[in-house]
């Protein structure tokens, strides 16, 4: 149990650091998202690579979450279509722009690009393509992780850039190099990754502040209700009808 307590304390320390050190970036991201939603735009969410790809699903069609969220869910980096394959796909340069074209991102839109390491080709290409299209980029990555991966590493984009070099605003996930944080005697690899905990916390923190900012602007936020409680289906029907055909995966 001692390692479980250590894991819990370490995960909590990551969250505490995010709250203490990334508040301004979260506020900026939420303000920019609230402005776009008030204009009738969607929030796009893209996780280019492996477990980071769960970011789009985490805040999509989520009880207590914003309705106008459009995840970019690419099978190439979904573990469900082949885990090892995702490592190869996320390193392919020139692939991400086609995905963004398919989802129709255009000038004035806003996107969260999430990748714990923030260095792979899909992540960097996606961020650069969005900037060139006039899309506002909210980045989510771990600076310590990214800054400790040497230039020329196979996981890196050929430019050796990091997501935080490109994004309009970037929220540091505070995840250490390698992600895992627990040492066990007799095991030569740390265990207990913390990136998913950090990613989920940051995503929902941004959404919470976005909803609060919409209310402050006099805009009534559209929020999903759980379909597993009485009245949930009825409450969601209006927004389902509104966004079906607008949000690709709805």
Which residue, chain included where needed, has tokens 């941004």?
A: 206
User: Tens digits of per-residue pLDDT, 198-240?
Assistant: 999 999 999 999 999 999 999 999 999 999 999 999 999 999 9
**Cα–Cα dist 160/126, whole Å:** 14
Strand, coil or helix: what is 192?
Answer: strand
Domains of the chain plus CATH, in order, are 2-243 (3.40.50.10490)
User: Tens digits of per-residue pLDDT, 155-188?
Assistant: 999 999 999 999 999 999 999 999 999 999 999 9
The per-residue pLDDT for 1 is 87
For 45-63, b/e burial (b = at least 16 CB within 10 A) is bbbbbbbbbbbbebbbbbe
CA 127 to chain centre: 12
Instruction: Give the confidence band of 105 by pLDDT, cuts at 50, 70, 90.
Output: very high
CA distances from 182 to 86, 93, 176 (A): 25, 34, 12
Classify residue 220 by burial, with Cβ atoms within 10 Å: 0-12, 13-18, 19+.
Answer: exposed
**What value does the mean pLDDT of the chain take?**
96
Residue 50 has pLDDT above 90, yes or no: no
The per-residue pLDDT for 226 is 96
Q: Judge whether 143 and 156 are in contact, CB under 8 Å.
A: no
Instruction: Over range 40-55, report the average pLDDT.
Output: 93
User: Tens digits of per-residue pLDDT, 123-163?
Assistant: 999 999 999 999 999 999 999 999 999 999 999 999 999 99
Helix pair 96-103, 121-133: axis angle to 10 deg: 50
The per-residue pLDDT for 49 is 87
Residue 3 has pLDDT above 90, yes or no: yes
């Amino acid at each position: 149990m001692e390692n479980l307590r250590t894991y819990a304390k370490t995960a909590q320390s990551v969250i505490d650091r995010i709250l203490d050190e990334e508040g301004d970036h979260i506020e900026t991201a939420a303000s920019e998202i609230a402005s776009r939603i008030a204009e009738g735009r969607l929030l796009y969410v893209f996780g280019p690579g492996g477990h980071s790809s769960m970011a789009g699903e985490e805040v999509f069609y989520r009880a207590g979450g914003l309705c106008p969220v459009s995840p970019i869910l690419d099978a190439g980096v979904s573990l469900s279509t082949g885990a090892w394959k995702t490592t190869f796909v996320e390193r392919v340069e020139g692939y991400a722009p086609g995905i963004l074209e398919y989802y129709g991102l255009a000038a004035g839109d806003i996107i969260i690009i999430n990748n714990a390491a923030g260095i792979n080709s899909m992540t960097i290409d996606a961020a650069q393509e969005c900037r060139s299209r006039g899309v506002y980029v909210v980045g989510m990555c771990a600076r310590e992780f990214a800054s400790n991966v040497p230039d020329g590493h196979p996981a890196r984009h050929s430019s050796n850039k990091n997501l935080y070099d490109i994004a309009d605003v970037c929220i540091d996930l505070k995840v250490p190099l390698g992600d895992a944080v627990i040492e066990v005697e007799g095991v030569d690899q740390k265990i207990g990754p913390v990136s998913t905990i950090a990613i989920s916390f940051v995503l929902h923190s941004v959404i919470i502040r976005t909803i609060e900012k919409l209310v402050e602007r006099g805009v009534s936020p559209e929020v999903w209700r759980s379909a597993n409680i009485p009245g949930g289906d009825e409450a969601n029907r209006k927004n389902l009808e509104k966004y079906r055909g607008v949000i690709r995966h709805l």
